[in-house]
């Protein structure tokens, strides 16, 4: 029997295991979700499989346009090989339209277009509920320096342009999303790359025509459908459903 892999970290939706070579990890996508009300099922069958595929799709797309990220290759239905990074303890949020926290804080109607994409940060801490922090906090507490922050904003805006375009092409509006950034070293040289995952778990996605939610807000409201329905719809439109990936699956254009 193969030796059990060493678990490095277990979070809400993913587990990280030691990878086959130094500097790599295996990222395992679980079905669990914290977005489902307690009285409903706490996991959504198939969500992990879809998010594994979707994160692969977006990270590969980013690689293709020269945005550095942690993805190396998918290993199986639920696992992908990634580069080990030192995660910066920030949730980097990019907003195109008002929703969620910014709508609440500023009294904006959900869906109001913002004057330009807005990048903001939360400090990663489940115990504290990921409080919003300013650049001043980030530099003062040493989580990142000013040069890092410039690089993070540049990365976040490139990811935003890429994702907004990809989603718009299949009739989906990217309202906002969250990414995480990691550090890697080549000798003494440090680089920042996109890490963690990109999936409907970390985006607000609304159908362009109907406004229907296709993200974790939909999960929050509806609870679990038979097979992660909103996520299945996103994957179907992008042509990345498990059955046709690698077999010439094409995005479905919504007219
Ligand atoms: O989602 P919520 O209203 O709690 O917070 P937000 O600041 O409005 O979230 C902005 C975006 O970041 C949404 O697309 C969230 O799904 C995403 N986010 C996330 O993926 N993980 C977090 N811990 C916080 C926000």
CA 86 – CA 182 distance, rounded (Å): 5
Instruction: Choose among 45, 12, 16, 20: nearest CA to 28.
Output: 16
Select from 204, 205, 206 the residue to mutate for testing ligand 1; criterion: most ligand atoms less than 8 Å from CB: 204
Locate 6 and state its tokens.
């060493």
Instruction: Choose among 70, 76, 71: nearest CA to 28.
Output: 76
Select from 202, 205, 219, 221 the residue to mutate for testing ligand 1; criterion: most ligand atoms less than 8 Å from CB: 202
User: pLDDT digit string (tens) for 167-201?
Assistant: 999 999 999 999 999 999 989 999 999 999 999 99
User: pLDDT digit string (tens) for 74-130?
Assistant: 999 999 999 999 999 999 999 999 999 999 999 999 999 999 999 999 999 999 999
CA 36 – CA 40 distance, rounded (Å): 6
Q: Establish whether residue 176 lines the binding site of ligand 1, counting it when its CB lies within 6 angstroms of any ligand atom.
A: yes
The number of C-alpha atoms within 13 Å of 119 and in the hemisphere containing its C-beta is 18
Whether the per-residue pLDDT at 225 is higher than 60: the answer is no
Q: Do 95 and 118 touch, CB atoms closer than 8 A? A: yes
Q: From atom 19 of ligand 1, which residue's Cα is the shortest distance away?
A: 202
pTM of the model: 0.91
Name the band, by pLDDT with cuts 50, 70 and 90, for residue 241.
Answer: confident
Locate 78 and state its tokens.
């639920």
Q: How far is CA 200 from the centre of its chain?
A: 7
User: pLDDT digit string (tens) for 20-68?
Assistant: 999 999 999 999 876 655 545 557 778 999 999 999 999 999 999 999 9
């Amino acid at each position: 029997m193969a030796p059990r892999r060493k678990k490095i970290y277990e979070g809400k939706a993913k587990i990280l295991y030691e990878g086959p070579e130094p500097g790599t990890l295996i990222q395992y996508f679980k079905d669990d979700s914290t977005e489902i009300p307690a009285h409903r099922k706490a996991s959504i069958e198939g969500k992990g499989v879809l998010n594994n595929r979707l994160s692969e799709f977006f990270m590969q797309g980013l690689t293709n346009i020269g945005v550095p990220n942690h993805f190396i290759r998918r290993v199986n239905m639920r696992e992908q090989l990634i580069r080990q990074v030192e995660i910066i303890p920030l949730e980097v949020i990019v907003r195109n339209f008002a929703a969620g926290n910014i709508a609440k804080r500023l009294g904006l109607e959900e869906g109001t277009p913002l004057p330009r994409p807005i990048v903001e940060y939360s400090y990663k801490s489940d115990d504290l509920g990921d409080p919003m922090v300013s650049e001043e906090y980030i530099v003062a507490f040493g989580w990142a320096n000013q040069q890092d922050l410039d690089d993070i904003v540049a990365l976040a805006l490139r990811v935003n342009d890429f994702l907004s375009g990809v989603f718009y092409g299949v009739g989906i509006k990217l309202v906002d999303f969250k990414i995480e950034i990691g550090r890697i070293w080549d000798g003494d040289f440090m680089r920042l790359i996109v890490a963690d995952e990109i999936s409907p778990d970390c985006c607000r996605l609304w159908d362009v025509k109907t406004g229907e939610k296709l993200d974790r807000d939909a999960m929050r409201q509806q609870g679990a459908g038979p097979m992660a329905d909103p996520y299945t719809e996103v994957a179907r439109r992008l042509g990345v459903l498990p059955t046709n990936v690698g077999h010439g699956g094409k995005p479905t254009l919504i007219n």
